[in-house]
Amino acid sequence: MGLKIGDKLPDFKAKDTNGILFDSKDYIGKQPLVIYFYPKDDTKVCTQQACSFRDSYQDFKDLGAEVIGISSDTIQSHIKFKSKFDLPFILLSDTDKRLRKLFGVENDFLFIPGRQTFVADSDGIIKMIFNSMSGTIHIDKALKSLKKLTK
C-alpha cells in the first residue's frame, strides 16, 4: 500500500548527482515539492519526461516548487543524463529501490519500474498522485496541481 493524497511525505535521504546526501527534511515544510519516479535514464520516454520537466522548470520555480527525479540508476548514470540534457533539477539515485518502496511505487507491466509523480504542498502534505507510463502528461498535471495550491 503506497502513499495517498492527504498523507505527509515521508522523511528520506538519498545521494544526488553531486554525491551529496539529499535530506527531504531540508525541503519538507519549506516549499512545495514535485517528486517524480521514472524507470531509467536516457530511454525515450524517460528522456522526454525529464526534458519536459526541464523546459517547464522555471514555471515550477515561479510557483515556489522544487522538482526531484528519482530512479534506480547509479549516480554516475544520473550525472551523464543530467549533463547530456542540461537538467536543472535534483536527480536522486535509488539503486536499492528503498525510496520506491517507501512511496509505494509499483512496477508497471510486472517488471518495468513505475512512473509516478507526487505533488506536495509546502507543509509536505501530498495533494496529487499521478501514475502513467506516458511521461509528458506528468508535467501538466503537476503544474495544474501546484497552481491550485497557490490560489
Give the catalytic positions in this structure.
46
33 forms beta bridges with: 66, 120
Place of cell 520555480: 61
Task: Give the β-pairing of 33-37 and 116-120.
Answer: antiparallel
Amino acid at 25: K
CB–CB of 131/114 below 8 Å?
yes
Q: Which of 29, 89, 82 is nearest to 60 (CA)?
A: 89
Q: Which of 108, 135, 118 is nearest to 49 (CA)?
A: 135
